[in-house]
Amino acid sequence: MLESTSQGDNFKNFKDVFKLRNSECPLQGWEDGKRATLIQKEKAIAAAFRGGKLYLTKSYLCFWRSRVFSQKNITIPLCDVTKLEKMKPFSFLPGSGMSIEIHVSSVEKPYVFGAIINRDEVFNQILQVAQAAQLAWAKEGGSEEEHAPSDDDADISD
């Protein structure tokens, strides 16, 4: 869907998929997205992982789920983020299980994105955009510490 050959078409597809204002487009270096896996720890192991790409704009972090109609895509306003953390929920994931956990004020459970190439760079870029926007959660630097999930977080059920 976002794999268009023309940059103009790619920009239009991005707008259509995420339903954002015309002023929102992927930042430099994020035009093609960053491969990531959405980890839904509350689901059965077979259904817990959804591949796709992350896109960062000046105001949003967007996740495009590959092989799924756009209704399943996620648009996270950076102003609604309450905490950004580095996590290691599952050591068997690519990259030694390193992931990013994003807590959002309007969502009960945090979003967990794993299998991200250059996870620390992606984390830092999200943090830099939020700091430039002077968002309160970014002033604290997100959370540079590596956290393993608690027993409750690691529970995967049907």
- Mean pLDDT for back-to-back runs of 10 residues, the chain (158 residues): 46 78 91 90 62 94 78 90 84 66 92 90 96 89 55 37
The CATH number of domain 7-150 is 1.20.810.10? no
Could you give the angle at the alpha carbon of 129 between the alpha carbons of 125 and 134, nearest 5°? Answer: 140
Dist CA 140 CA 143 (whole Å):
8
pLDDT reported for residue 43: 56
Tokens of 94: 């690519």
| Contact call for residues 147 and 71 (beta carbons, < 8 A) | no
Dist CA 151 CA 38 (whole Å):
20
pLDDT reported for residue 19: 87
pLDDT reported for residue 65: 87
* Enclosing H/E stretch for 133: none
Helix (H, G, I), strand (E, B) or coil at 134: coil
pLDDT reported for residue 39: 85
Dist CA 116 CA 61 (whole Å):
14
| Contact call for residues 49 and 39 (beta carbons, < 8 A) | yes
Dist CA 94 CA 106 (whole Å):
29
Tokens of 30: 């994020």
Looking at the DSSP assignment, which residues form a beta bridge with residue 86? 100, 146
